[in-house]
Chain A
């Protein structure tokens, strides 16, 4: 059955390859991502920063209720570009995966392992009948004792790879060029936050305030923070910055 519109006969079915070897639905999903608000992540020597625009189409919207940077477990956080509802579903699934891992191993998954699991979830939606791919790309930042801090991207196809710094969404091309110039391996977390804000500002439409952006950071625990005290949980290594903290960084 060939439908109207671009792609011809091969744009209709997700589970059919086009002659050029593409799955056209995934291409369209990537287009949905590129139409979404910009998000970026930067890896530093002592942490990672995730940042995103919280663009609202109307002044009447209460953006404080919107969560674009989401913690998954105490050491991993997500940010996305693309379709918000798809993000919420994946966040819920990722949180469940992290808890299931904890139930077996008594500790939260290393970042790479969670990335693989979530990528597997996204891949399932590219090889099943009656479903469509997720319309989001994810940037995942986390810390684990095996690899230290790591930043990953997962695309609607389920491919994933690690970045030192990257951007996704509307302004990703300019943002990545900007990051390429600004990034070096010696950036500290403070430098990275500063760079992230500058990068976001490049393509920002409207005023950039603590209400129109969200920032999450991964920090590296010190050896004494890692000592388990009975009855207490280990301190989280991923957290979102409060509006006041964002305001302070913006004023720098």
Chain B
């Protein structure tokens, strides 16, 4: 897990979620790429981040794309954040004794239904073999996870509006990865609200 580096953080706000990652890909100490995005969309309301071994990032991303496409065609509906989380979890557990070296983070807004007209924003994270945690505040993973825990715990508060959530998650990510040798080299933040997703690239320390 310490070969390529990289970190992801997700946070819950008021009727919005945010998910952000750094852009570094390295070979231990040597930085190789500063455009290695680790957060991918399932659809415009559901994103997920895959920090860890870069080859597994690609493999899992393609595998999940396959599974979600099959789901979308068979069920004729979009997958919900909770169901997607379970899908990722069971995919990881299938490799229980030879796992993917990834700790996924999922962030999304469930679509309102008749039974649940105001669903809560959703984030989740899991370990390399699929043990799910559904925190109510923030989820962190990657080589800067410990630092992300610290800053997030200090900066996060409930019911942040999208603009404030953006500031909070950006400062959390930037300051945590600046203390980690293997994360950094750029950052991308996605803020997901009911009407749109705003993606911003942060001006980060490139050292």
Contact = CB atoms under 8 A, between A and B. Distances in A.
Interface in A195-224: 221, 223
B75 interface: yes
B82 interface: yes
Contacts of A226: 115-116
A211 B159 CA distance: 58
Interface in B58-80: 74-77
Given A105-B83, A107-B83, A107-B86, A146 B116 contact: no
Contacts of B75: 110, 112-113, 146
Nearest to A107: B83
Nearest to B89: A106
A103 interface: yes
B77 A146 contact: yes
Contact of B82 (A106, A112, A116, A146): A106
Contacts of B160: none
Contacts of B116: 223, 226
Contacts of B86: 104-107
A110 B83 CA distance: 13
Contacts of B90: 103-105
Given A110-B75, A113-B74, A223 B115 contact: yes
B87 interface: yes
**Residue of B77, B85, B115 with most partner-chain A CB within 10 A:** B115
B131 to A, nearest CB: 13
Contacts of A106: 82-83, 85-86, 89
B74 A104 contact: no
Interface string A2-38: 0000000000000000000000000000000000000
A116 B74 contact: yes
Q: Is the interface of A mostly helix, strand, loop or mixed?
A: helix
A145 B115 contact: yes
A88 to B, nearest CB: 27
Interface in B116-139: 116
A116 B75 CA distance: 10
A106 B89 CA distance: 10
Contacts of A223: 115-116
Interface in A88-132: 103-107, 110, 112-113, 116
Contacts of B89: 106
Nearest to A148: B114
A104 B83 CA distance: 9
B87 A104 contact: yes
Contacts of B74: 113, 116
A226 B74 CA distance: 24
Contacts of A103: 90
A146 to B, nearest CB: 5
**Residue of A105, A106, A221, A226 with most partner-chain B CB within 10 A:** A105
Interface of B: 74-77, 82-83, 85-87, 89-90, 113, 115-116
Given A106-B83, A145-B115, 14 more contacts: A104-B86, A104-B87, A105-B86, A105-B90, A106-B82, A106-B86, A106-B89, A107-B82, A107-B83, A107-B86, A112-B75, A113-B74, A146-B77, A226-B115
CB-based closest 10 A-B pairs: A106-B86, A104-B90, A226-B115, A223-B115, A105-B83, A105-B86, A146-B77, A113-B75, A145-B113, A145-B115
22 contacts: A103-B90, A104-B86, A104-B87, A105-B86, A105-B87, A105-B90, A106-B82, A106-B83, A106-B89, A107-B82, A107-B83, A107-B86, A110-B75, A112-B76, A113-B74, A113-B75, A116-B74, A146-B75, A146-B77, A223-B116, A226-B115, A226-B116
